C-alpha cells in the first residue's frame, strides 16, 4: 500500500507514530515535494511547525534506513504563485492530486482536507490531531509562592523577581548558566504544551516571538533573529485580592456602582495595577454587571463568568465594535498605552460603556496627562471621571475629574473665566490640579505644593504668564526684556533705558492696555534697577529663562533634536514617538508639552510665546530636547 501524507499529519508526527505501532509498517511512504516546500518555508519564518515537520521527515528517513518502510519523494515543488495561494487550498489540491494519481491512501490530520478528499473519491485515513494531558512544565519548578516572574536566557544564570508587591527583588535562582540546548528544550516544551493542553493557547505567534498563556502563566518565548539568543520570560500573578481589602474601598465601590464611569487605574510597573483591576472586575460582576475584558495578551486572572477578549484581527478597534454588540456594563481595558488604545477607550466610554483602563504612570496626574492631545480637552471628564493611583499594592490616591467654568488659579480678571478641568482628591475633597487652555496651549497647574518643590508652579501658569508678558513687551521694545513675577497678579518688567517711554506710552496708556489684556499689574523699570541683572539668576524672561536655568545647573535630558524655523512654524522632528505626548525642553528647562503628529513632528506657530522662546533658545545655541511623558 502506498501512503501519501499531507503537511498537517507530518507536522503532528503521526506518520512515524503509525509506522511504529504497526499500522504503516512495510508500506511505501510517498512524501510530496509540496509538503517539503511548506515545511521549509515555515522553518525559514522561524515557526515551530516547520521545524517539527522537518524533524518528522528525519524520523521517517531513519525508519527507512532500518527497513521499516520505503520512503520516496514525489511530485514537483510548487511555484511561487502556488505557494502564495496556499491559504486558498492550492497546495492541498496538489497533494490530493498526487494521491489520486498513485491510487494511494491519503493521510491527513486536517478534517477539511479529509472531507474534500473523500468527496473526490480518494481513500482517506484521517488521524485526529495529537492530544495529550500536559502536566507540569519544567519552568514551573523555578517558581515558589513569592515568585512573580522567571527570566531565562541562553548562556546566562536564571533570575527571578521575588517578594511582596512593591518590594520585589531581582535575584539569581541557579548557580550555572543555561546552555542553548536546554533553553531550546524549555521553549519547545512551552509551545507544545500550549498547543496540546486545553488549559493553554498561543496568544501571539510571530517569527522569532511567541506569547503563550498556560494556566496562570503568561510566557514569552523569543528566538533569533528577533532576540540575540533564546529567551523565556514567564510571569504569574502572586496576589489575588478582593476590593474590600483596599483602603477607601467603600467610597470606591459606591462610586463604581452609582453609574457607569470612566476609570484609569495607574501606577508604576509592578505596583499592583492589574491586581486591583482584577478585584474591580470581580466586584462589578458580583453586583449584577456584565463585565468583559480587552487584553493583548490576555493575562488578567478573572473567573469564567467574565469573558476575556483580545485584539480581533490584530486590532482593538474591531474588538470594541464586537463588544458594543455584546453590550457589557463595564469593560476592563488592560494596558492602555498607545494613541489607538486611548481612542478606542474614549469611543467605548462615549458610547455609554463603563470603562476601567490600566495605564502606566509615575504620578497620579500623569495618567490624566496622557489623554491630553489624544482626546479633545473638553471631553476628558466625560471619558475619565476617576483616576486611581496604585503604589506598592495599595490605593494611594483617587482623583475626581470634572469640568467647571471659573477664572483659573493664578489669573484675576473676570473676563478670563473659561472651562477648567478640576482634578480633586477624592478622599480630602481638595482640588489639586487645574487643566485649561491658555493662549492655545494646554496648561496643567498644580494647586498645592508637591514633591516637585517650590519651583513646581514655574512649569504651570507662572511660566505661561511670563511668556505672554514678554511677548507683549517685546512687540513694543527693541532691546532685551526681562520679566519677573512678584505674585499672581503683579509683575516687574525690566527693559533698556531707550525703551522705557515706548513701553509705558503717553500717560501710561500703552502699558495699561497690556495690563487690561493680560489681567495683571505690570511695573516697568530699567535693567539697572534689576538687582540680579547680569547674573544667571536674574534672567526670568521667556528666552532667558532657559539659558538662565541651564547656567544655574539644569542639565539637558531626553533626546536631542534640531528644530527647523520656517516662514510660519518652528518644526521639531521627533522620530520614534508618533502619537505620543512628550515634553520639549531648552537647556534642560521645561518649555511645553505636546503630542507628536503621525508625521513624527511637532509644529509651533511662529509669533506665539512658545515659538518665541524656542527661537530665542535656538539663537543662543541651547540644546533642544524631547522627553517622553
Whether residue 448 has pLDDT greater than 80: no
Percent with pLDDT over 70 in the chain: 88
488, 555: one domain: no
Q: Does residue 545 sit within a domain?
A: no
Q: Which residue has the higher pLDDT, 116 or 194?
A: 116
219, 273: one domain: no
121, 10: one domain: yes
- How distant is the alpha carbon of residue 624 from its chain centre? 26
- Sign, Cα dihedral of 51, 53, 59, 65: negative
User: Where does residue 305 rank: exposed (0-12), middle (13-18), buried (19+ CB within 10 A)?
Assistant: exposed
Give the predicted TM-score (pTM) of the model.
0.53
Q: What interhelical angle do 461-474 and 609-619 show, nearest 10?
A: 80
Least confident of 71-85, 454-468, 476-490: 454-468
Whether residue 560 has pLDDT greater than 70: yes
User: Where does residue 324 rank: exposed (0-12), middle (13-18), buried (19+ CB within 10 A)?
Assistant: middle
CATH of the domain at 229: 3.30.450.90
Quote the longest CA-to-CA distance of the chain.
114
Domains in the chain: how many in total?
5
Residues with Cβ < 8 Å from 62, sequence gap 6 or more? Answer: none
Whether residue 263 has pLDDT greater than 90: yes
Listed residues 448, 481, 509: the one ending a domain: 448
DSSP per-residue string spanning 550-573: HHTT----SEEE--EE-SSEEEEE
CATH of the domain at 503: 3.30.300.20
221, 288: one domain: no
**By the 8 A CB rule, do 381 and 394 touch?**
no
Q: Does residue 131 sit within a domain?
A: no
- Residue 30: pLDDT band (50, 70, 90) is very high
DSSP per-residue string spanning 238-288: -----GGGSTTHHHHHHHHHHS--EEEEEESTTSSHHHHHHHHHHHHHHTT
What is the pLDDT averaged over residues 149-155? 93
- Residue 540: pLDDT band (50, 70, 90) is very low
Q: Which residue has the higher pLDDT, 106 or 268?
A: 106
231, 323: one domain: no
- Residue 370: pLDDT band (50, 70, 90) is confident
248, 332: one domain: yes
516, 557: one domain: no
- CA separation (Å) from 447 to 266, 423, 434? 21, 10, 7
Whether residue 541 has pLDDT greater than 50: no
What is the pLDDT averaged over residues 504-532? 82
Q: What is the CA radius of gyration of the chain?
A: 33
The model's pLDDT over 422-436, given as tens digits with 9 standing for 90+, comes to 999 988 889 988 888
Which residues are registered as beta bridge partners of 30? 72
What is the pLDDT averaged over residues 21-42? 88
- Residue 412: pLDDT band (50, 70, 90) is low
Whether residue 51 has pLDDT greater than 90: no
Domain limits for position 78: 2-126
The per-residue pLDDT for 358 is 92
The per-residue pLDDT for 551 is 34
87, 180: one domain: no
Instruction: Report the chain's mean pLDDT, rounded to a whole number.
Output: 82
366, 248: one domain: yes
309, 362: one domain: yes
Least confident of 281-290, 370-379, 544-553: 544-553
Q: Does residue 620 sit within a domain?
A: yes
CATH of the domain at 35: 3.40.50.1010
Least confident of 208-212, 361-365, 545-549, 561-565: 545-549
**By the 8 A CB rule, do 416 and 519 touch?**
yes
The per-residue pLDDT for 467 is 75
93, 41: one domain: yes
Q: CA 544 to CA 519: how far, in whole Å?
A: 23
Which residues are registered as beta bridge partners of 5? 107
Q: CA 629 to CA 583: how far, in whole Å?
A: 6
Peptide bond into 621 cis (omega under 30): no
The model's pLDDT over 450-480, given as tens digits with 9 standing for 90+, comes to 544 434 445 455 666 777 788 788 888 877 7
Angle at 54 between CA 48 and CA 60, to 5 degrees: 140
Whether residue 544 has pLDDT greater than 50: no
Whether residue 533 has pLDDT greater than 70: no
Q: CA 3 to CA 99: how far, in whole Å?
A: 8
CATH of the domain at 317: 3.40.50.300
Listed residues 483, 513, 540: the one ending a domain: 540
Percent with pLDDT over 90 in the chain: 21
Q: CA 390 to CA 410: how far, in whole Å?
A: 30
Q: Does residue 546 sit within a domain?
A: no
Per DSSP, helices labelled H in 451-608 are: 461-474, 500-504, 509-518, 542-551
DSSP per-residue string spanning 590-615: EEEEEEPPTTSEEEEETTSHHHHHHH
What is the pLDDT averaged over residues 338-359? 91
98, 172: one domain: no
Listed residues 425, 448, 471: the one ending a domain: 448
Among candidates 81, 79, 237, which has minimal Cα distance to 145? 237
- Cell numbers that stand for 603 in this block: 509644529
Amino acid at each position: 500500500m502506498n501512503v501519501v501524507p499531507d503537511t498537517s499529519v507530518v507536522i503532528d508526527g503521526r506518520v512515524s507514530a503509525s509506522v511504529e505501532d504497526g499500522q504503516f509498517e512495510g508500506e511505501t511512504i510517498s512524501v510530496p515535494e509540496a509538503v517539503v516546500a511548506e515545511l521549509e518555508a515555515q522553518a525559514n519564518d522561524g515557526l515551530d511547525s516547520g521545524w517539527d515537520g522537518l524533524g518528522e521527515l528525519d524520523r521517517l528517513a531513519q525508519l527507512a534506513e532500518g527497513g521499516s518502510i520505503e520512503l520516496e519523494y514525489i511530485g514537483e515543488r510548487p511555484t511561487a504563485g502556488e505557494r502564495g495561494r496556499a491559504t486558498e487550498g492550492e497546495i492541498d489540491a496538489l497533494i490530493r492530486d498526487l494521491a489520486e494519481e498513485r491510487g494511494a491512501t491519503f493521510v491527513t490530520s486536517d478534517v477539511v482536507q479529509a472531507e474534500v478528499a473523500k468527496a473526490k473519491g480518494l481513500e482517506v485515513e484521517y488521524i485526529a490531531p495529537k492530544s495529550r494531558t500536559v502536566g507540569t512544565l519544567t519552568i514551573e519548578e523555578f517558581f515558589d509562592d513569592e515568585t512573580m516572574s522567571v527570566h531565562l536566557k541562553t548562556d546566562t544564570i536564571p533570575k527571578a523577581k521575588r517578594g511582596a508587591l512593591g518590594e520585589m527583588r531581582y535575584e539569581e535562582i541557579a548557580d550555572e548558566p543555561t546552555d542553548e540546548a536546554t533553553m531550546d528544550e524549555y521553549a519547545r516544551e512551552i509551545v507544545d504544551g500550549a498547543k496540546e493542553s486545553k488549559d493553554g493557547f498561543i496568544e501571539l505567534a510571530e517569527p522569532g516571538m511567541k506569547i503563550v498563556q498556560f494556566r496562570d502563566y503568561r510566557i514569552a518565548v523569543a528566538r533569533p533573529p528577533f532576540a540575540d539568543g533564546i529567551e523565556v520570560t514567564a510571569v504569574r500573578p502572586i496576589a489575588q485580592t478582593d476590593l474590600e481589602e483596599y483602603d477607601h474601598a467603600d467610597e470606591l465601590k459606591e462610586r463604581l456602582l452609582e453609574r457607569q464611569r470612566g476609570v484609569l487605574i495607574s501606577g508604576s510597573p509592578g505596583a499592583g495595577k492589574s491586581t486591583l483591576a482584577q478585584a474591580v472586575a470581580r466586584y462589578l460582576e458580583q453586583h449584577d454587571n456584565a463585565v468583559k475584558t480587552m487584553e493583548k495578551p490576555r493575562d488578567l486572572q478573572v473567573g469564567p463568568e467574565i469573558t476575556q477578549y483580545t485584539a480581533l484581527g490584530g486590532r482593538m478597534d474591531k474588538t470594541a465594535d464586537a463588544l458594543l454588540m455584546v453590550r457589557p456594563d463595564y469593560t476592563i481595558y488592560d494596558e492602555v498605552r498607545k494613541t489607538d488604545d486611548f481612542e478606542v477607550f474614549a469611543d467605548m466610554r462615549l458610547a455609554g460603556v463603563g470603562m476601567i483602563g490600566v495605564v502606566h504612570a509615575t504620578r497620579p496626574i500623569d495618567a490624566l496627562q496622557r489623554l491630553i492631545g489624544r482626546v479633545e480637552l473638553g471631553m476628558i471628564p466625560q471619558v475619565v471621571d476617576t483616576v486611581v493611583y496604585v503604589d506598592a499594592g495599595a490605593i494611594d490616591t483617587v482623583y475626581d475629574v470634572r469640568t467647571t467654568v471659573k477664572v483659573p488659579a493664578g489669573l484675576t480678571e473676570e473676563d478670563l473665566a473659561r472651562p477648567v478641568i478640576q482634578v480633586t482628591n477624592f478622599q480630602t475633597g481638595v482640588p489639586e490640579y487645574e487643566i485649561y487652555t491658555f493662549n492655545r496651549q494646554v496648561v496643567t497647574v498644580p494647586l498645592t505644593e508637591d514633591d516637585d518643590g517650590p519651583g513646581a508652579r514655574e512649569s504651570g501658569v507662572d511660566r505661561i504668564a511670563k511668556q505672554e508678558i514678554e511677548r507683549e513687551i517685546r512687540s513694543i521694545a527693541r532691546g532685551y526684556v526681562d520679566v519677573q513675577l512678584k505674585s499672581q497678579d503683579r509683575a516687574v518688567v525690566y527693559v533698556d533705558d531707550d525703551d522705557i517711554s515706548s513701553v509705558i506710552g503717553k500717560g501710561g496708556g500703552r502699558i495699561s492696555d497690556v495690563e487690561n489684556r493680560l489681567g495683571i499689574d505690570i511695573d516697568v523699570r530699567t535693567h539697572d534697577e534689576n538687582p540680579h541683572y547680569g547674573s544667571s539668576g536674574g534672567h526670568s524672561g521667556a528666552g532667558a529663562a532657559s539659558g538662565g536655568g541651564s547656567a544655574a545647573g539644569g542639565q539637558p535630558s531626553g533626546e536631542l533634536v534640531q528644530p527647523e524655523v520656517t516662514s510660519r512654524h518652528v518644526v521639531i522632528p521627533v522620530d520614534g514617538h508618533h502619537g505620543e505626548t512628550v515634553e520639549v525642553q531648552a537647556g534642560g528647562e521645561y518649555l511645553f508639552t505636546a503630542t507628536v503628529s503621525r508625521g513624527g513632528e511637532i509644529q509651533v506657530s511662529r509669533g506665539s510665546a512658545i515659538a518665541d522662546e524656542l527661537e530665542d533658545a535656538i539663537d543662543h545655541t541651547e540644546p533642544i530636547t524631547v522627553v517622553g511623558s
